Amino acid sequence: MTIKKLLALGQKIWKKEKLSLGEIIVRMGKVFGDICRFERNAIKDKDKHTDKELKKEMGNIIFSTIKWCKDLGYDPEDCINEAIKCQKKGARELKKL
């Protein structure tokens, strides 16, 4: 699926909901917290820690972030391209160490 198709699907699912940065941070924190709990691996959570659950949470971060970029007025593809440039630069700098 392309980024454009994923964005269209996210907008179809969430209708006209447009989140503010604060609302995005809260939702992102919830998903990030779920991933952190997976790593913490507390006994009370063991039954929920399946490969399927981790896959779902990773997908939530990817899928949701595409729409959140748009909610903030950014083109998701531009955001991804900026991140790629930054990561390439970071990787080059780390190789110098």
- At 37, is the pLDDT very low, low, confident or very high (cuts 50, 70, 90)? confident
Whether the Cβ atoms of residue 76 and residue 7 lie closer than 8 Å to each other: yes
Each domain of the chain, given as residue ranges in start order, spans 3-96
pLDDT on residue 39: 85
Q: What is the mean pLDDT of residues 41-63?
A: 88
Collapsing DSSP states into helix, strand and coil, what is residue 49?
Answer: coil
Length of the chain: 97
pLDDT on residue 41: 79
pLDDT on residue 97: 67
CA pair distance 15, 13, nearest whole angstrom: 6
CATH number of 3-96: 1.10.287
- Which helix (H) or strand (E) segment holds residue 61: the answer is helix 51-71
Q: What is the mean pLDDT of residues 37-55?
A: 85
Whether the Cβ atoms of residue 4 and residue 69 lie closer than 8 Å to each other: no
Whether the Cβ atoms of residue 38 and residue 54 lie closer than 8 Å to each other: yes
Instruction: Choose the most confident range, by mean pLDDT, from 38-42, 43-47, 89-93.
Output: 89-93
